[in-house]
Amino acid sequence: MRQLCRGDHLFLDFLFFPVAYIDWCMLGFLHVHPLTWNQDVTEAIQKVAAAYDCKIVEGVLSHQLKQFVIDGNKVVLSVSNPDTRVDDAEFEENEVYAIDIVTSTGDGKPKLLDEKQTTIYKRAVDKNYHLKMKASRFIFSEISQNFPIMPFSARALEEKRARLGLVECVNHELLQPYPVLHEKPGDFVAHIKFTVLLMPNGNDRITSHPLQELQPTKIVDDTEIKAWLSLPVKSKKKGGGKKKKGKKADKGEGEAEPMEETSNDGAQE
C-alpha cells in the first residue's frame, strides 16, 4: 500500500501520468491570476484530471499565504464535493498562494489506517482548553514557545512525554494533526505543490522542484486545455520608460514569457 502523505511533507510515487503531473502544475500556475475566482481553478483542475482518466484526491486545499500564515482565508479546492465547501473568493494582485494538487489512480479517497503514524502537527491558534494532564500541559507549553504558528514534528518535542501529551491536545482540538493517509493496494499517487505570486504583469512561481522527464501514456485532444497550456505566463510590460543613453535594450525585453513548448499535441513536456 502506498503511503500518501505525512503532514506538509508528501512521500509520493511519481510513477504514473507524467503528463498530467506537468499539466496540473502549469494549469494552476496559469489559471490563478487576478480577476479570476477560486471555483474557476477548481473546475479547471477537475477538467484536466478527467482528461487523463484519473482522480483528484479529496480534501487537499490550496491556501492564500500571508506573513506567518500558511492557511489563509482564501482557499482553492482541488475537487468539489458536498462534504467540503469553501467561500467564493476572487484572486487579487499582490497576493500569494500555495498551489497544492494530489492525484491518484484509485478513487481519490485515501484512508487513515493508524493514528500512531501521524507525527506532524500544527498549533490551532484559535482554540483554547484547560488541559487536565500534567504531561499535556508540559508539551503544549513547549509547543507554544517553540512552534506557535508553523507545523512541527513530534520528534522535536521532549520524547518521553510527547506521545501521551499530544493525544489530549489533539482530542481537544488544540493541535491540528497532519495524518498519514493510504490509498488501496496497487494504486499510485502523484503530487505537485508550489508557491505563486500574483503580480501586476503576470504570475511568478517562486518555489517548485525539478520535473521528471517521463514518457507520457495518454494524448489529450481537448482544445480548451491546449489553449490554457499555450498561454504566456507573464503579460507584456507597459512602455513609456526612458532608456539610458549608450545602452540598448536587451533582446526580447518587454515581451511575454511563453511557456515551454509541448509536443504530442500539448500532452508532454
The verdict on 94 and 187 lying in the same domain is: yes
Higher-pLDDT residue of 197 and 4 is 197
The whole-number pLDDT of residue 130 equals: 94
**Residues 102, 225: one domain?**
yes
Euclidean distance between CA atoms 25 and 203, whole angstroms: 13
Q: Does residue 241 belong to any structural domain of this protein?
A: no
Backbone angles phi and psi of 225, in degrees to 5: -65, -40
Residue 263 has pLDDT above 70, yes or no: no
User: Does 192 lie in the same domain as 105?
Assistant: yes
pLDDT, tens digit, for every residue of 151-177?
Answer: 999 988 877 778 789 999 999 999 999
Q: Are residues 10 and 128 in the same domain?
A: no
- Residue 133 covered by a domain: yes
Burial category of 108 from C-beta neighbours within 10 Å (exposed 0-12, middle 13-18, buried 19 and up):
buried
Strand (E) or helix (H) holding 257: none
Structure confidence at residue 114 as a pLDDT band (50, 70, 90): confident
Number of independent structural domains in the chain:
2
Confidence of residue 18 (pLDDT cuts 50, 70, 90): very low
Query: Average pLDDT, stretch 165-191?
Result: 90
pLDDT of amino acid 34: 64
Tell whether 268 is covered by a domain: no
pLDDT at 107: 87
Q: How many residues does the chain have?
A: 269
**Stretch 173-197: mean pLDDT, rounded?**
88
Q: Which residues of 186-197 are buried (b: 16+ CB within 10 A; e: fewer)?
A: ebbbbbbbbebe
Does residue 80 sit in the same domain as residue 209?
yes
Decide: 7 and 119 in contact? Cβ < 8 Å. yes
pLDDT for the residue 190: 83
pLDDT band at 211 (very low <50, low <70, confident <90, very high): low
Question: Which structural domain, as residue segments, surrounds residue 133?
Answer: 119-178
Q: Is residue 73 part of a domain?
A: yes
pLDDT greater than 80 at residue 212: no
pLDDT tens digits, residue range 51-69?
888 888 888 889 999 988 8
pLDDT higher than 90, residue 137: yes
Sign of CA dihedral 122, 11, 24, 80: negative
Q: Is 203 helix (H, G, I), strand (E, B) or coil?
A: strand
Residue 74 reports pLDDT greater than 90: yes
Of residues 119 and 35, which shows the higher confidence score?
A: 119
CA geometry: angle 73, 110, 127, nearest 5 deg: 35
Q: Is residue 94 part of a domain?
A: yes
10-14: list long-range contacts, CB under 8 Å, 24+ apart.
10/102, 10/191, 10/193, 12/102, 12/189, 12/190, 12/191, 13/188, 13/189, 13/190, 14/190, 14/212, 14/214
| 90 vs 243, more confident | 90
**158 & 192 share domain:** no
Residue located via cell numbers 506567518: 68
Do 36 and 95 sit in the same domain of this protein?
yes
199 and 159 share one domain: no
Q: What is the pTM of this model?
A: 0.72
141 and 98 together in one domain = no
How much is the average pLDDT of 195-204? 86
Determine the Cα–Cα distance for residues 268 and 266; give it in Å rounded to an integer.
6
Q: Is residue 140 located within the same domain as residue 190? A: no
71-75, 175-179, 233-237, 244-248: the lowest-pLDDT one: 244-248
Taking 70 as the threshold, does the pLDDT of residue 256 lie above it?
Answer: no
Residue 77 covered by a domain: yes
Please tell me the least confidently modeled range out of 41-45, 48-52, 195-199, 256-260.
Answer: 256-260
Cell, residue 265: 499535441
Residues 80 and 45 in one domain: yes
Asked whether residue 196 carries a pLDDT value surpassing 80, the answer given is yes
CATH of the domain at 150: 1.10.10.10
Angstrom distance (rounded) from CA 13 to CA 214: 13
Average pLDDT over residues 35-55: 84
Q: Are residues 84 and 137 in the same domain?
A: no
CATH code for the domain of 25: 3.90.230.10
78 inside domain? yes
